[in-house]
């Protein structure tokens, strides 16, 4: 029993005590079930991997939730996953509503690539209401899921028809984010609408029509490339570009602003997409005043669709299920009509064409193409 | 044996394995030796030191990440507690996330051992996953055969995607960092997206989207332990770890690859064809990455989505670097990153901290691993501390534990300051703060607590550093720090209704005890301060 | 029709300059670093950080030139990190570069979240005042800066003692050391200049031509710049031509999408967008064999003075 071993013994006991105490605190912190607090939020949103700030589905859905918060006494929470693999864990996390006591009224998934994850989770939580944006899930198998779809081509046809009346060069352009079917639907509707209001546009493109160009940036989040490409299209003689390219499309609007800043032979325009973007074409987007270079935007009312979903789930108490199709008939798609920002009023002829088109599409007289059949 | 091959042997620490010339039994026998040798003390100790270094880098990265969180107004304590707690509650997500990382990590590590930096594992992963998906939904094959064929073709296609840079590197000297990266940009946003959006699009969808049809159920990899996520791919990953380990340690090919990686001229002089080795190792590296993609498609996604992976290949670089390019290290590193990713999910939903923190931590880990000198310096300190604690525990322990408590206390204080500052920002009170302090005693208290927390948080960091360096001044700063911790704990709970009373009290009281004890040790027993010990 | 052709080629030149400027600037940066013997694959991360810093500073001050200044500072910081790790601490240069790329990607996205509340894109900021050149169109001032930097860099590298020592640090460090000049210092200078130029390249992408920062906006331009530098044989003039060549290929890949008579290509736009990347591989692999500085990638460890 030397002194050294004694101190060593005390030290070892001391270390053991500290480890046990630390372990106990940690165990208390993590494992002891605390009384589950009430859920602070009523609605949970899992956004698509494009993140907020995409001025498209994600921002639209966010806007709808914010509107719902302002109108009803509810609150919402959200996450921005950055890859597909995170969807299912997030959805399960929300469906299990840990560590909260009560479940969410509805869980909204944004983006088509969440479909498989939503189906897997909805099967395990049949009492939890889900909604998925931009994808169809069969309500026969999954009665607790609402599918929110949008007829993007119909809205594109409207702005195309306006573009057909506005253009002075009789040549219009389209900038897409990537050459994928969803974006082709925008382009097809747009050119079809331009042809509807202004028959000088030839849709027959077997040999190549000089009347319109459609191009693809190849990236969703690169405004610099979008701007460069738009510069080229304006230089090539088109005076209107419809940008359906996510954040790259913001560069198209920048390009239109710059092209107009120094006098050209003719004014050039841009058309916004998904959300109201006319303010982006003004001199100072923070305090938008007329004039703007974005004379209209194709509106995909994701905000309205999400607002309805939240209203049904949280206020009415009966969540929406099945296919919720949003088209011209129910105002789910449309065009941005903002004459204060525009600085002039739309001529009656234009409005007549739009009315005719809306009515025709609604009652099925006119069928908007969803791809380029004429490209072969 | 020429002189140069002798040089090579001394550099490599051994002669090439002869096993391939002998029979199967000698091969197995030598493998057994390798495996038992792994568990011999000196080998284990070497691996433990490697692990220790990696852990040091991780701790440093977490510290810097906490500072960044504090600077940007997030609470690191909330972040890390939700991260750790959440990950431990869902261990299957940890291993699921680790699965592709094991394979891409092995891919990068294998190339690195041969002196090549395969930065384009992401592209190979995409090509492999696309190939596996094509086999999965196009071919009609019986169970067992179907997934095996899909995995094989996925791996080969991934390997072929690395083959082009390999050939260019070997015969034209084109830098593989640039060429593999270019191959990745070709594959990820353009080629596979075009395939998924065009010729291979799922025709059954109402709204056309860039994804292929689902693969046949015969091609599914089975789930493990009834988990929603974890699948048989994890076992394949473990098998690959063992396979690469055997390849590098026990085969002539592995020896030659390592020889080229260590010293190309010497290897060439010793009769190894470096060009061949470059091509073979990059091809194998691509195969592993492709397999990583194939496994995920067959095991979890069951179809190819355009852009399904956001950087599993790039994370593989981090994993390989953290694992010091050894197969076992890659396994541990992948599980660590799986842990981070699994914890990131509750960290976002419950803790409300953005997942980008994980990316930041990842980058910092790589930076610290890349700078072995910093870690070495700390490890030396650590070792001398450990020796001192073993020799004189009564003198050293209070000081060592005191430094740790100072660190924890300062982190809590800074986190508290961050959340209080966040409250001020949210309520938009900062512009008219001076008038508020004068008129509203509650606000004055708030601001006073906030500034006290910031000041003593910084002092705590200093105490941690100075106690570790055995500076006498640190003890004088430690006493007031502990007292402030106790006071703030009380103030936080009684006035602001916070919940930090118990942790702050525990840390404050223990810190106080340590401070007094260290003082007694220093004054009574005369520990020499300020120098090396 | 002829006027359209002139305008079209004018646009091609403008797009070449716009898309080539960041490549050339970052390539020059990479050149300084690699000439001094330090591999710098961190260019991508430095560009991203510079792009973010430029937008963040312009956002708070409403002045794009402070943005450029902030970008330079951020580049110097990252350059210092890379330099300290790979020169002073003798770490692995490629691993350090990878760490910086990962860190920059995570940090900039985190800061998007912190400043603008979204992880996708920043708010709109004021662009650097552009100059309208006849026929070509709008050109960023940083493009002129880039063109002016080429002769300056050339002079610095080949006609000054500084340049001689910098090159010696990469070719033959032991001779430099014998002459009593610190190899470490010159490598640090190289890496710092590299960080600065790469960050300006990032600023060109975010506020030189565009007006906002988006997540991961450099999208491989750092690696393209590295390729331009290698293709340009590690010298300023070569880098200029290689960078502009890659910019030209990118411009062409857009141009053919709307040039009259090329409409049949539209179905293959994914392949057209691949052209720059494929051409880099072709350029590096087939057209010319590259010879890097001799001592590149090897940390210099001073021999013991006897």
What are the chain C neighbours of A258 within 8 Å (beta carbons)? 130, 138
Tell me how close the Cα of A172 comes to any Cα of chain C, in angstroms. 11
Residue of A34 and C177 predicted with greater confidence: C177
Nearest to B355 by CA among B345, B368, B367: B345
Look at A89 and B306 and tell me if their CB atoms are within 8 Å.
no
Asked if the C-beta of B183 comes within 8 angstroms of chain C's C-beta atoms, the answer is yes
Residue of A228, A257, A258 for testing the chain C interface, max C β-carbons within 10 Å? A228
Strand order of the sheet with strand A240-244?
A212-216, A172-176, A240-244, A269-274, A294-300, A333-335
Cα B179 from Cα B124, distance rounded (Å): 12
Q: Which residue of B has its CA nearest to C288?
A: B172
C89 and chain A in contact, CB less than 8 A: no
Please give the C-alpha separations between residue C11 and each of A208, A227, A234, C137, C272, in angstroms, as whole numbers. 22, 12, 10, 7, 18
Chain B: residue nearest A9 by CA? Answer: B393
DSSP string, C187-200: HHHHHHHHHHHHHH
**Partner chains of C (3+ C-beta pairs under 8 Å):** A, B
Asked: is A153-299+345-375 a CATH 3.40.50.2300 domain? The reply is yes
Test A231 with C138 for CB contact under 8 angstroms.
Answer: yes
pLDDT in tens, B115-160: 888 888 999 999 999 999 999 888 888 888 888 899 999 999 999 9
Contacts of A178 in chain C (CB under 8 A): 270
Quick one: which of C120, C77, C121, C72 has its CA closest to C100? Answer: C77
**Chain A residues close to C137, C-beta within 8 Å:** 231, 235
SS3 A363: coil
Who's near B208: CB < 8 A, 6+ residues apart?
Answer: A180, A181, A182, A185, A370, A371, B201
**Among the partner residues A11, A83, A112, nearest to B310 by beta-carbon distance:** A83
Domain edges within chain A: 43-150, 153-299+345-375
pLDDT value for A205 = 53
Q: Is residue B4 over pLDDT 60?
A: no
Chain A residues touching residue B228 (CB < 8 angstroms): 88, 92, 120
With an 8 Å Cβ cutoff, is C11 touching chain A? yes
Q: Do C8 and A210 touch (CB under 8 A)?
A: no
* Helical H segments across B251-392, by residue range: 252-262, 264-269, 274-296, 312-322, 327-349, 356-370, 372-391
Residues 428-457 in B contacting A (C-alpha not used; CB under 8 Å): none
Grouping H, G, I as helix, E, B as strand and the rest as coil, residue C289 is coil
Burial class (CB in 10 A: 0-12, 13-18, 19+), B149: middle
Contact B166, B278 (CB under 8 A): yes
- For residue range B214-228, list pLDDT tens digits in order: 888 888 888 888 778
A116, A120, A182: residue with CB nearest B208: A182
- Find the helix or strand (DSSP H, E) in which A132 lies: strand A130-133
Does residue B197 sit at the A interface (CB-CB below 8 Å)? yes
Task: Confirm or reject contact between A225 and chain B (CB < 8 A).
Answer: no
Q: Return the partners of chain B (3 or more C-beta pairs < 8 Å).
A: A, C
Contact A76, A41 (CB under 8 A): yes
Query: At residue C224, does pLDDT exceed 70?
Result: yes
Measure Cα distances from B180 to B172, B199, C93 in Å.
Answer: 14, 26, 18
Residue B10 has pLDDT above 70, yes or no: no
Interface size between A and C, measured as CB pairs under 8 A: 139
One digit per residue, pLDDT tens: chain A, 376 residues?
Answer: 445 556 667 667 777 777 777 777 666 665 555 566 777 788 888 888 777 777 778 888 888 888 888 888 888 888 888 788 888 888 888 888 776 778 888 899 988 888 888 988 988 888 888 999 888 888 888 888 888 888 888 888 888 888 888 888 788 888 888 777 778 888 888 888 888 888 777 666 544 456 777 788 877 777 888 888 888 888 877 888 998 888 888 888 888 888 887 766 778 889 988 878 888 888 777 777 778 888 888 888 888 888 888 888 888 877 788 788 888 888 888 888 888 887 778 888 888 888 888 888 888 788 887 776 544 3
Task: Determine the length of chain B.
Answer: 533
The percentage of residues in chain B with a pLDDT greater than 90, rounded to a whole number, is: 11
Chain B 81-100, residues with CB within 8 Å of chain A CB atoms: 81, 84-85, 88, 90, 93, 97
**Cβ contact (<8 Å) for B197 and A180?**
yes
| Same fold for the pair A43-150 and A153-299+345-375 | yes
The minimum CA-CA distance between C264 and chain B, rounded to whole Å, is 16
CB contact under 8 A, A254 and C210: yes
Q: Of the candidates A128, A129, A100, A113, which has an alpha carbon nearest to the alpha carbon of residue A41?
A: A100
Q: Among B92, B98, B210, pick the best mutation site for testing chain A contact (most A Cβ within 10 A).
A: B210
* CATH class (in words) of the domain with range C2-121+137-287: mainly alpha
Q: Indicate yes or no: CB of C285 within 8 angstroms of CB of B179.
A: yes
C246 touches chain A (CB under 8 A): no
State whether A136 and B206 contact (CB < 8 Å).
Answer: yes
Contact state of C98 with B317 under an 8 Å Cβ cutoff: yes
User: Among A89-98, B81-90, C40-49, which range has the highest average pLDDT?
Assistant: C40-49
Q: On the CB side of C230, how many CA atoms lie within 13 Å of its CA?
A: 29
Buried b (16+ CB within 10 A) or exposed e, B476-492: ebbbebbebbbebbebb
Of B310, B349, B401, the CB nearest to A90: B349
Contact list in C for residue B182 (CB cut-off 8 A) is 223, 227, 277-278, 280-281
* CA–CA separation, B62 and B59 (whole Å): 5
Which residues are registered as beta bridge partners of A106? A43
Contact A232/B at CB under 8 A: no
Exposure string for B15-46, b = 16+ CB within 10 A, e = fewer:
ebbebeeeeeeebeebbeebeeeeeeeeeeee
Q: Select from B332, B286, B366 the least CA-distant residue to B126.
A: B286
The CATH number of domain B3-13+34-373 is 1.10.3470? yes
Mean pLDDT over the full length of chain B: 79
Give the long-range contacts of residues B231-235, CB within 8 A, separation 24 or more: B231/B96, B231/B99, B231/B295, B231/B298, B231/B299, B231/B300, B232/B299, B233/B99, B233/B100, B233/B295, B233/B296, B233/B298, B233/B299, B233/B300, B234/B95, B234/B96, B234/B98, B234/B99, B234/B102
Set of chain C residues whose Cβ sits within 8 Å of the Cβ of B119: 41, 98
Could you give the count of Cα atoms lying within 13 Å of B46 in the half-sphere of its Cβ?
A: 9
Q: B318 CA to chain C: closest CA distance, Å?
A: 8
Q: pLDDT value at position A209?
A: 57
- Identify all chain C residues contacting B68, using CB atoms and an 8 Å cutoff: 107, 110
- Per CB-CB distance under 8 Å, the chain C contacts of B189 are 273
How many Å apart are CA C304 and CA C306, to the nearest integer?
A: 6
Contacts of A79 in chain B (CB under 8 A): 348-349
Window B:283-312, CB contacts with A under 8 Å:
296, 300-303, 305-311
B362 in C contact zone (CB under 8 Å): yes
CB contact under 8 A, C281 and B173: no
All structural domains of chain B with their residue ranges? 3-13+34-373, 392-525
Looking at residue C4, what is its pLDDT? Answer: 59
How far does the CA of residue C278 sit from the closest CA of chain B (Å)?
Answer: 7
Q: Which CATH number fits domain A43-150: 3.40.50.12780, 3.40.50.720, 1.10.3720.10, 3.40.50.2300?
A: 3.40.50.2300
Q: How many CA atoms lie within 13 A of A219 on its CB side?
A: 25
Q: What percent of chain C has pLDDT over 70?
A: 92
Residues in chain B with CB shorter than 8 Å from the CB of C105 are 359, 363
Note the pLDDT tens digit of each residue in B370-415: 777 666 666 666 667 677 767 776 777 777 778 878 888 887 788 7
Predicted confidence (pLDDT) per residue in B97-126, tens digit: 899 999 999 999 999 888 888 888 999 999
Which residues of A fall within a CB distance of 8 Å from C258? 173, 213, 215, 232-233, 236, 238
Q: Name every chain B residue with its beta carbon within 8 A of the beta carbon of C89.
A: 371-374
Check CB contact of B211 with chain A, cutoff 8 Å: yes
Residue C29, beta-bridge partner list: none
Quick check: bond before A291 cis, omega within 30? yes
Report whether A134 contacts A149 (CB < 8 A): yes
Q: Looking at residues C204-218, what average pLDDT do you find? A: 84
Extract the tokens encoding B9.
């042997």
Contact B2, B270 (CB under 8 A): yes
Q: Which of A94-98, B10-14, B521-525, C165-169 has the lowest mean pLDDT?
A: B10-14
Between CA B190 and CA C276 the distance in angstroms is 12
Our CA-based measurement puts residue C251 at a distance from the nearest CA of chain B, in whole angstroms, of 17
Between B268 and A107, the higher pLDDT residue: A107
Tell me the residues of chain A between 313 and 352 that have a Cβ less than 8 Å away from chain B. Answer: none
Chain B CB contacts of A178 below 8 Å = 189, 193, 197, 210
Residue A119 contacts B, CB cutoff 8 Å: no
**CA–CA distance, C73 with C85 (Å, rounded to integer):** 18
How many Å apart are CA A251 and CA C212, to the nearest integer? 9
Residues from chain B contacting residue C287 (CB–CB below 8 Å) = none
Instruction: Name B223's bridge partners.
Output: B231
CA torsion through residues C269, C272, C273, C274, sign: positive
pLDDT at A206: 46
Closest among B254, B272, B252 to B263, alpha carbons compared: B272
Q: Which residues pair with C133 in a beta bridge?
A: C137
Residue carrying the six token digits 């325009």: A269
> Chain A within 8 Å of B185 (Cβ-Cβ)?
no
Q: Are A280 and A272 in contact (CB under 8 A)?
A: yes
């Amino acid at each position: 029993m030397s002194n050294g071993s004694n101190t060593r013994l005390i030290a070892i006991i001391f270390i053991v005590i500290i480890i046990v105490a630390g372990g106990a605190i940690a165990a208390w912190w993590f494992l002891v079930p605390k009384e589950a607090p009430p859920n602070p939020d009523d609605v949970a949103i899992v956004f698509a991997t494009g993140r907020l700030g995409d001025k498209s589905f994600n921002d639209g859905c966010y806007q709808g939730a914010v509107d719902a918060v302002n109108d009803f006494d509810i609150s919402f929470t959200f996450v921005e996953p950055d890859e597909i693999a995170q969807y299912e864990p997030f959805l399960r996390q929300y469906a299990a509503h840990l560590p909260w006591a009560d479940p969410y009224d509805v869980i909204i998934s944004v983006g088509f690539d969440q479909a498989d994850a939503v189906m897997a989770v909805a099967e395990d939580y049949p009492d939890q209401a889900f909604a998925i944006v931009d994808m169809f899930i069969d309500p026969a198998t999954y009665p607790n899921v609402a599918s929110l779809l949008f007829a993007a081509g119909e809205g594109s046809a409207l702005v195309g028809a306006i573009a057909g009346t506005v253009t002075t060069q009789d040549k219009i352009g389209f900038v897409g984010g990537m050459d994928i079917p969803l974006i082709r639907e925008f382009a097809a509707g747009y050119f079809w609408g331009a042809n509807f209001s202004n028959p000088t546009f030839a849709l027959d493109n077997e040999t190549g029509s000089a009347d319109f160009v459609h191009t693809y940036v190849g990236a969703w989040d690169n405004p610099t490339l979008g701007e460069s490409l738009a510069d080229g299209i304006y230089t090539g003689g088109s005076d209107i570009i419809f940008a359906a390219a996510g954040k790259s499309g913001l560069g198209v609007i920048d390009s239109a602003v710059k092209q107009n800043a120094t006098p050209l032979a003719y004014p050039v325009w841009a058309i916004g997409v998904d959300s109201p973007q006319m303010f982006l074409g003004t001199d100072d987007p923070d305090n938008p005043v007329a004039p703007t270079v974005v004379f209209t935007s194709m509106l995909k009312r994701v905000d309205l669709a999400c607002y309805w979903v939240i209203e049904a789930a949280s206020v009415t108490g009966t969540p929406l299920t099945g296919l919720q199709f949003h088209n011209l008939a129910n105002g789910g798609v449309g065009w941005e009509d903002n004459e204060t920002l525009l600085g002039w009023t739309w001529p009656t002829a234009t409005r007549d064409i739009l009315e005719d088109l809306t009515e025709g599409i609604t009652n099925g007289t006119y069928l908007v193409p969803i791809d380029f059949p004429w490209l072969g | 044996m020429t002189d140069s091959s002798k040089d090579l042997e001394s550099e490599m620490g051994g002669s090439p394995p002869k096993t391939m010339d002998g029979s199967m039994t000698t091969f197995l026998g030598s493998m057994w030796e390798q495996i038992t040798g792994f568990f011999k003390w000196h080998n284990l100790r070497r691996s433990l030191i490697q692990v220790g270094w990696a852990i040091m880098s991780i701790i440093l990265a977490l510290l810097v990440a906490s500072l960044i969180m504090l600077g940007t107004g997030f609470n690191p304590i909330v972040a890390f507690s939700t991260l750790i707690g959440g990950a431990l509650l869902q261990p299957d997500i940890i291993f699921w996330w680790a699965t592709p990382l094991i394979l891409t990590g092995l891919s990068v590590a294998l190339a690195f051992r041969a002196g090549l930096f395969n930065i384009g594992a992401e592209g190979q992963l995409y090509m492999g996953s696309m190939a596996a998906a094509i086999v999965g939904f196009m071919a009609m094959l019986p169970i067992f055969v179907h997934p095996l064929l899909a995995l094989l073709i996925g791996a080969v296609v991934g390997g072929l995607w690395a083959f082009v840079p390999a050939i260019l590197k070997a015969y034209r000297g084109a830098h593989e960092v640039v060429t593999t990266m270019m191959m990745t940009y070709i594959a990820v946003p353009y080629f596979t997206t075009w395939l998924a959006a065009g010729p291979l699009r799922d025709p059954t969808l109402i709204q056309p989207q860039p994804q292929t049809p689902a693969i046949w159920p015969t091609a599914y990899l089975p789930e493990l332990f009834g988990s929603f996520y974890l699948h048989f791919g994890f076992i394949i990953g473990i098998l690959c770890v063992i396979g690469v380990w055997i390849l590098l340690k026990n085969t002539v090919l592995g020896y030659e690859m390592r020889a080229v990686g260590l010293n190309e001229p010497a290897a060439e002089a010793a009769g190894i064809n470096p060009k061949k080795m470059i091509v073979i190792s990059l091809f194998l590296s691509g195969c592993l990455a492709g397999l990583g993609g194939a496994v995920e498609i067959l095991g979890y996604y069951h179809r190819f989505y355009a852009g399904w992976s956001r950087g599993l290949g790039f994370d593989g670089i981090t994993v390989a670097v953290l694992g010091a390019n050894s197969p076992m290290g890659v396994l541990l590193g992948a599980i660590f990153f799986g842990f981070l990713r699994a914890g990131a999910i509750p960290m976002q939903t419950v803790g409300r901290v953005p997942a980008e923190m994980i990316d930041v931590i990842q980058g910092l880990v790589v930076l610290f691993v890349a700078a072995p000198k910093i870690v070495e310096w700390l490890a030396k300190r650590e070792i001398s501390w450990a020796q001192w604690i073993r020799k004189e525990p009564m003198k050293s322990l209070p000081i060592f534990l005191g430094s740790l408590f100072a660190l924890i206390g300062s982190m809590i204080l800074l986190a508290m300051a961050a959340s209080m500052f966040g409250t001020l920002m949210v309520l938009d009170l900062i512009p008219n703060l001076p008038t508020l302090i004068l008129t509203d005693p509650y606000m004055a208290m708030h601001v006073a607590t906030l500034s006290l927390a910031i000041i003593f948080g910084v002092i705590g960091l200093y105490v941690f550093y100075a106690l570790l360096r055995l500076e006498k001044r640190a003890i004088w700063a430690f006493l007031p720090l502990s007292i402030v911790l106790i006071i703030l704990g009380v103030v936080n709970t009684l006035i602001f209704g916070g919940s930090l009373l118990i942790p702050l009290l525990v840390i404050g009281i223990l810190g106080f005890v340590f401070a007094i004890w260290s003082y007694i040790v220093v004054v009574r027993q005369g520990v020499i301060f300020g120098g090396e010990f | 029709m002829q006027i359209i052709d002139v305008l079209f080629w004018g646009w091609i030149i403008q797009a070449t300059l716009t898309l080539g400027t960041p490549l050339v600037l970052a390539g020059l940066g990479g050149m300084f670093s690699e000439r001094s013997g330090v591999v710098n694959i961190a260019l991508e991360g430095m560009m991203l950080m510079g792009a973010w810093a430029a937008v963040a500073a312009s956002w708070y001050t409403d002045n794009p030139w402070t943005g450029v200044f902030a970008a330079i500072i951020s580049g110097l910081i990252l350059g210092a990190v890379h330099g300290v790790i790979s020169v002073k601490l003798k770490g692995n240069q490629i691993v350090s570069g990878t760490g910086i790329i990962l860190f920059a990607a995570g940090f900039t996205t985190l800061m998007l979240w912190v400043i603008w509340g979204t992880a996708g894109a920043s708010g709109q900021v004021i662009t650097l005042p552009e100059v309208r050149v006849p026929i070509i169109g709008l050109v960023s001032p940083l493009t002129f800066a880039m063109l002016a930097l080429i002769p300056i860099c050339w002079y610095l590298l080949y006609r000054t003692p500084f340049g001689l020592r910098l090159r010696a640090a990469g070719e033959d460090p032991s001779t430099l050391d014998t002459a009593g000049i610190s190899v470490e210092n010159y490598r640090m200078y190289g890496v710092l200049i590299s960080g600065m130029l790469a960050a300006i390249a990032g600023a060109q992408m975010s506020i030189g031509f565009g007006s906002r920062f988006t997540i991961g906006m450099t999208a491989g331009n750092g690696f393209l710049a590295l390729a331009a530098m290698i293709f340009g044989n590690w010298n300023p003039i070569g880098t200029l031509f290689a960078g502009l060549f890659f910019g030209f290929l990118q411009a062409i890949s857009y141009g053919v999408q709307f040039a009259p008579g090329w409409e049949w290509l539209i179905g293959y736009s994914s392949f057209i967008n691949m052209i720059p990347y494929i051409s880099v591989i072709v350029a590096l692999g087939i057209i010319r064999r590259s010879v890097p500085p001799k001592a590149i990638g090897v940390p210099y460890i001073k021999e013991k003075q006897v």
